[in-house]
Amino acid sequence: MRVIDSHTAGEPTRVVIDGGPNLGTGTLAERAARLETEHVDFCASVVLEPRGHEAVIGALLLPPSDPECVAGVIYFNNLKNLGMCGHATIGLAVTLAHMGRIGPGRHKFETPVGVVEIDLIDAHTVAVVNIEAYRLHKDITIEVEGHGPVTGDVAWGGNWFFLVKESPLDLVPANIRALTDLTLRIRAGLDKAGVTGADGAWIDHIELFGPAQDPAANSRNFVLCPGGAYDRSPCGTGCSAKLACLAEDGVLAPGAEWLQESVIGSTYKLSYQPGAHGGVIPTITGQAFVTSEALLILDPEDPYRFGIRG
């Protein structure tokens, strides 16, 4: 299995170039459903130890069904598929440029939740125009075991998020373990309270906000991903959900820029335009760097060829 690794603002992406499963024909959403239900071992072998770790996001490169797109892609983590992934889209664009498949300028990628457009600004810098993001619920308060009440918004940015405006803990690397434990308890509190996204969707990402450390940035965040890892980057889909909330609250005007800082200090530049359905069309700009090219070997005699699962 041929893969190319990169990181976007610190968050890793592993693009599968060759050797992925045969997902048949149909729309990308249909092929993504087959990947999740029929090829769990493949996904685990790509992102889990001993070849990966809990923060790695996989990106299976596929032929697009939309002729206007240069690539189709299915994103997945150590637990399930992702509808969209901002950092991995930036990583995929830089990877395709590294391979010589695309050059500077605008290109379209087909994802299971819709077509996204990217602008490859240079070898490392990419602006992603995401699908429409929106806020579903404002100021939902839940009880969190061992902490008490926590209030946040429920919003969609390509994945479902619960966004807490004021983090109960300082957003610094020394608190990453405590922040992970807290956000896991917040997610459990949402489940217990029956708070969901649209149509009962699981809210699998939790996002905490606080003051930025960089004077040039507008805020800092910590994001819990579905599998229990934290996002090293500011999280592209989480930033999209944040933009929907900022727009609805009248905090950020269309076209104005917002600099979002992650818990490790990396940043994305954000802006939005009004969407067709009352939400916002986010643009996320960040940098990615290719870190390795490799052939993954799945030896039939290796008891951990399909990954080490908790």
* Active-site residue flag, 85: yes
190 and 105, same structural domain?
no
- pLDDT for the residue numbered 309: 85
What does the pLDDT look like over 240-261, one tens digit per residue? 999 999 999 999 999 999 999 9
Confidence bin at 83 (pLDDT 50/70/90): confident
Which is the catalytic residue, given 85, 225, 239, 245?
85
280 in a domain, yes or no? no
Nearest-angstrom CA–CA distance, 117 and 149: 39
98 and 49, same structural domain?
yes
The length of the chain is: 310
259 and 164, same structural domain?
yes
Nearest-angstrom CA–CA distance, 245 and 251: 9
45 in a domain, yes or no? yes
Domain count, the chain: 2
Provide, rounded to the nearest whole percent, the portion of the chain with pLDDT above 70: 100
56: left (phi over 0), alpha (psi -120 to 50) or beta: beta
214 and 126, same structural domain?
no
41 and 125, same structural domain?
yes
169 and 102, same structural domain?
no
- pLDDT for the residue numbered 79: 81
Domain limits for position 205: 134-274
* Active-site residue flag, 69: no
Overall average pLDDT of the 277-301 stretch = 97
247 in a domain, yes or no? yes
**Shortest CA distance to 152 belongs to which of 162, 144, 167?**
162
- H-helix or E-strand spanning residue 29: helix 28-38
84 in a domain, yes or no? yes
Which is the catalytic residue, given 43, 225, 235, 239?
235
141 and 188, same structural domain?
yes
119 and 57, same structural domain?
yes
* CATH assignment at residue 100: 3.10.310.10
138 and 266, same structural domain?
yes
267 and 188, same structural domain?
yes
What does the pLDDT look like over 20-79, one tens digit per residue? 999 999 899 999 999 999 999 999 999 999 999 999 999 999 999 899 999 999 999 888
**Shortest CA distance to 89 belongs to which of 209, 227, 240?**
240
214 in a domain, yes or no? yes
85 and 146, same structural domain?
no
